Structure 1
Amino acid sequence: MYRQYLRERENMSSGGKLKVLLILGSIRDGRQGLRVAKFMRRKLEERNFDVKFFYPVEMKFPLITQPVHFYGPERKGAPAILVENEKFVKDADAYVIVSAEYNHNVPPALTNLLDAFPCSAYSYKPSGLVCYSMGQFGGMRAAMALRAITGELGCLSVSNIFGIPTVQNAFDEEGNPKNDHMESGAKKMLDQLEWMATAMKNHREKVGVPS
């Protein structure tokens, strides 16, 4: 069976790439998350994923007063930034969420972005969690909150979490890792994510999704 998966992976590499939405949730001054996101983007591209990057700072993503699906099926009157980016959420085969830990929880900019789009846009696809902190626990309390959030959105996270303790010592400004744990930690999570994304994409294409 694993050989069959490898053949399917090879077919995707030669044709239809898996699409992944990489989401960075922190907008705080002095944030370390951009270094982490640069590293993760390289790791995803090395696996031949087609990567779209959601970064609220660069996107100038607004504070949401109404999610896009509240504007009806035609999205009449919805802000252009929501309509345009909903397509990327829907088209993704998987999600990688890079999150800091604020007050032992998820950054508000991240939940604001995730909640701008309907659960149906995320459903029946996997997600991978990359959490970090400047302390020794690597953002794991935020990761536990994200487990519940991704479960409700329908893009359940794979079991392996890539946690990064003392993130300020883990990468340079360009996202180059300073220790071996970064490479091995990312690989474990992405191995699971790629397997699940491939399997779920194949099943969506063969049988569709529940209405």
Structure 2
Amino acid sequence: MKFLVFLGTVRDSTPPRPARLGARVAKACLACLGGRYGEHEVELVDALDYPLETVFKPQFAYAKGRAPAALDELAEKIASADGYIMVSPEYNHSMSPALANLLNHFGSSLFSYKPSVIVTYSAGQWGGMRAAVGMRTFLSELGCLPVSAMIHVPKAQDVFREDGTAQAGEDQESWFDYFGRAFTQLVWWGEAAKAHRAEVDPHTRVRDFRKDPSQRNAP
């Protein structure tokens, strides 16, 4: 299977220090997935690589062939993936605006009927868990239903180095065991969903909202 790890931060400056704390967490996720679930393909999607316009226009709203190439390429990756790992800091008790902005450029039909894992982090003691609560609703609306286990990394600067390995005094295998509960659920649900999609195309059972907001209206 193929999984995408979305790194939902674009802040690449100091203060705060260290900058791009989420990159450490994302690299740790990649290392865990590669080491323990190496039979699957995993790719990082960094929001910093997608400098999106201030004025919002989703990928599907462009005429065919007119969307920015980077958005079309990412749309293909999202559609071909079997699950997602969403890595986010916490802003005002909510998920990263950069992550929400990037994901909102794509229709839910690309994400639907696939599982996701919520990973949050912070420089403080809570590990972004308040943002994770809101992410459940957000990701459910996208259709990539979050698995029950979540990952929270408090004081991430003291847990992981820049390359994603554990800091001195931290037990990397114990952290990966903790990560593994969520990732194992992701793999299980991903396998089940992929097998069923091969038998029954869900988009033929439940109509996608592709043309007009009124498609969501009650009779």
Find the residue that maps to 1:21 and give its secondary structure: strand
Residue number in structure 2 paired with 1:23: 6
Matched, 1:66 2:49: no
Residue number in structure 1 paired with 2:176: 183
Out of 33, 40, 47, the residue aligned to residue 29 of structure 2 is: 40
Structure 1 distance, partners of 2:65, 2:2, is 27
Structure 2 distance, partners of 1:56, 1:171, is 20
Matched, 1:202 2:192: no
What whole-Å deviation, never above 9, does each CA across 1:29-70 have from its counterpart, x for those lacking one? 31211011111112122202211211022x243136210111
Out of 47, 50, 53, the residue aligned to residue 44 of structure 2 is: 53
Instruction: Give the alignment's Cα RMSD to 1 decimal.
Output: 1.3
Identity of aligned residues (%): 39
Deviation at 1:76, TM superposition (A): 3.7
1:60–1:150 CA distance, 2 compared to 1 (3 A): closer
Q: State how 1:80-159 maps to structure 2 within 5 Å.
A: 80-159=69-148
Amino acid at match of 1:35: R
Give me the TM-score of the superposition, normalised by structure 2: 0.83
Structure 2 distance, partners of 1:174, 1:146, is 26
Number of residue pairs matched by the alignment = 191
Structure 2 distance, partners of 1:81, 1:191, is 31
Structure 2 distance, partners of 1:155, 1:130, is 14
Residue number in structure 1 paired with 2:211: none
Residue number in structure 1 paired with 2:217: none
1:54–1:204 CA distance, 2 compared to 1 (3 A): same
Matched, 1:192 2:185: yes
For the 8 Å contact 1:128–1:190, the answer to whether it is kept is: yes
Amino acid at match of 2:22: G
| Structure 2 portions without partners, runs of 5+ | 14-18, 208-219
